Amino acid sequence: MRRPVADRPASAVIGLLLLAAGAAVIDWRFDLAGVWNRIETDEVNTTVEADWFAWAALAAAVVLAVLALWWLIARLPRPTEGRVALAATGSDRIDLDVRSVAPRLRTDLERNAPVDRVTSRRFEIRGGQLVSLHAHVDPRADGASLINAANAITESVATAFPDGEVTVRVIVDGPKRAKARRTPRVH
């Protein structure tokens, strides 16, 4: 899921508005600050009954609906462009489909590191793509073997793409829980 940059500022603004509305209702009920008594409800009712208010409400409804829809849709994952342009000379240009590289990197990691269930995701970064390899560790592994495998895979990618069109990151998570045994273990 993507994280729109609007999440934080918009959440803060809407949080403040909700807090203010809640505080107004609490003040209405318990008369803590006396703010409610100073509100002129006649003016509010006159405004709501005005002819222009219905059209203004309609326009606001359309704008808010579009904003809400955009905000929800903006977090849906977007497919990452598969191709990156390799260094070109003159009019020749070579595009590489990174989707063809990821399976090889997954196989290499699974073969060289004490991990299993390797998956990959691609992210666009400035000047190329990052292939993020996710794996689950074998609990019998040691730090040195994980580091050596990650170094080897980074080095091989850096050799193949010296200008950094493709980079690789290895993210290792805890071991997958073994499935429950059908028969009890006998000691």
Partner 1 sequence: MKVRDPRRTPAAAWPAVIAALLLGGFAVVLGQHAAAELGWIGADSWLRTAFASLDDAQPSVWVLIAGIAAALIGLWFLIAAFLPARRSHLPADGPGDLWVSPRVVEALASDAAGRAPGVLHAHSELRRRRLKVKALLAPGNEAAVADIMEAVGDRLDGLAELEVAVQAKEASR
Residues between 147 and 166 that touch partner 1 (CB under 8 A): 147, 149-155, 164
Q: Which is nearer to partner 1, 67 or 94 (CB)?
A: 67
Distance of closest approach, residue 85 Cβ to partner 1, in angstroms: 16
Distance of closest approach, residue 30 Cβ to partner 1, in angstroms: 9
Distance of closest approach, residue 91 Cβ to partner 1, in angstroms: 28
Q: Please state the three-class secondary structure of 2-22 as a single string.
A: CCCCCHHHHHHHHHHHHHHHH
Q: Which is nearer to partner 1, 149 or 182 (CB)?
A: 149
Q: 132, 122 in Cβ contact below 8 A?
A: yes
Distance of closest approach, residue 103 Cβ to partner 1, in angstroms: 19
Q: Which is nearer to partner 1, 110 or 154 (CB)?
A: 154
Burial class of residue 184, CB neighbours in 10 A (0-12, 13-18, 19+): exposed
* 172 Cβ contact list (under 8 Å, min separation 6): 115, 134, 135, 136, 137, 146
Two structure tokens written together for 86: 């390799």
Residues 9-48 that bind partner 1 (CB under 8 A): 9-12, 14-26, 28-29, 39, 41, 44-45, 48
| SS3 of residue 123 by DSSP | strand
Task: List b or e across 56-77, with b for residues whose CB sees 16 or more CB atoms inside 10 angstroms.
Answer: eeeeeeeeeeeeeeeeeeeeee
Which range touches partner 1 (CB under 8 A), out of 80-88, 89-97, 100-108, 172-180? 172-180
Residues 104-143 that bind partner 1 (CB under 8 A): 123, 125-127, 130, 137, 139-143
Which range touches partner 1 (CB under 8 A), out of 80-88, 89-97, 100-108, 170-178? 170-178
